[in-house]
Structure 1
Amino acid sequence: MGNRHGYPTVEGHERLRQSARDLIEHGVPPRNHGGSLSVSALQLLYERAARPESAGDALKLLHELQTYQVELDLLYEQLQANEQELSEELAHYRSLYEQAPAAYLILANDGAIIEGNEAAGVLFDESVMSLAGRTLTTLLASGQQAAVNTLLRNCTERGAADGSVELADQRWLTVRTRPTASGDSVLMILTEVSIHSASF
């Protein structure tokens, strides 16, 4: 009927109008989700309908208003359905992010952690809530500032960057980054390097 957000296109508006007319012809009353006529508007319609010379126009106007009312009801229901669909989709992807087996971080471009998932909390032995607001380097071994800066700079300039960083307990992590679509933050995946694959 409309675009992704439920607002009708030109073709969708025509279908909406036809659906509204069909409902009216079948005696389906408006549900008034989109509002109702004011008392003054109803009074004006009544006065015009009471005069023979304007009764026909008043009836046409009333029918048009009823059609608009039903259109609003149908559009309201479509918006509600779209909102439910978007909420379910958001919950689905949020669950995938939070429960992913890999450690995910979202960083500001300056390296401050905006949020992390449960696996990131396990990796750094921190609660997920305590990660927010900290800089990534505070969770790493000393001397890792340059490596983090290079990753973030390359990510911003090239659209992606891979590298490695060391934790304070001498474990090494493989890091993959991508900028967000808005470019104001960085998506990061951290994977612990196994002893067998490490070559330092």
Structure 2
Amino acid sequence: MADTHGYSNTERHERLRRSARDLIDHGVPPRNHGGTLSVDALKLLYERASSPESAADALKLLHELQTYQVELDLLYEQLQANEQEISEELAHYRSLYEQAPAAYLIVANDGRIIEGNEAAGVLFGKPDTDLAGKPLWALLAPGQEKAMDTLLGNPEEQGVVNVPVELPDRRQVAVSSRPATAGDSILMILTEALTDPASS
């Protein structure tokens, strides 16, 4: 199995091992992010190093332990960097969702709103935090059952569905919906229809 850079697990481990050995060979001490040898392990290592017969093996073992320690430190640093990158990316997309000019809703398959952005709150005249848990049909004008059935549709089906709906104040809204990849919710974009000034 290859990672995002195209390396297999074996190749990735070999690269990590080479990096660790290179750091040790250049006199870089392990940064030790919390991994320490137990007292018993240190005692055993000391006993082996004290005996001429096992001193070479003890030094080899010590070098191997140092290598493992540096490997773990490198992995720890990479995990921290990945976590930081994911957090920044999540914050970026969260900001795009919340501040989008279009009204976004995430709706459960039973029609209850899971989450809405600021524009959705403005569209329905409610704070976006008040939308969660409300059934979508309760925010629409009466007689929208057919539109709701079409919007909710079959969660197993993929594809965008476009349906016009009416709000209680008679505003017309175009709704585009699509099942989420996991199939446990429906993503919706709601766009208020612009009224033609000549017709009013």
Does structure 2 retain, via aligned residues, the 8 Å contact 1:34–1:73? no
Query: Where in structure 2 are the equivalents of 1:1-200 lying within 5 Å?
Result: 3=3, 9-33=9-33, 35-153=35-153, 156-196=156-196
Question: Match for 1:85: what amino acid?
Answer: E
- The C-alpha deviation readout for 1:167-192, integer Å capped at 9, x for no partner, is 00001110101111101000000001
Deviates more, 1:119-128 or 1:142-151: 142-151
Question: Match for 1:151: what amino acid?
Answer: L
> Alignment partner of 1:157: what SS?
coil
Q: Which TM-score applies when normalising by structure 2?
A: 0.92
Change (3 A) 1:168 1:156: farther
Does structure 2 retain, via aligned residues, the 8 Å contact 1:155–1:161? no
Deviates more, 1:147-156 or 1:187-196: 147-156
> Alignment partner of 1:165: what SS?
strand
- The C-alpha deviation readout for 1:7-46, integer Å capped at 9, x for no partner, is 9832121111111111111111111115111111111101
Does structure 2 retain, via aligned residues, the 8 Å contact 1:107–1:187? yes
- The C-alpha deviation readout for 1:117-165, integer Å capped at 9, x for no partner, is 0000000000011000000011110111231122111564343211111
**Unaligned 5+ residue runs, structure 2?**
none
- Identity in percent: 70
The CA RMSD measured in Å over matched residues stands at 2.0
| Distance in 2 of aligned mates of 1:38 and 1:3 | 34
- What is the total number of aligned residue pairs between the two structures? 195
Q: Which TM-score applies when normalising by structure 1?
A: 0.92
**Unaligned 5+ residue runs, structure 1?**
none
Question: Match for 1:119: what amino acid?
Answer: A
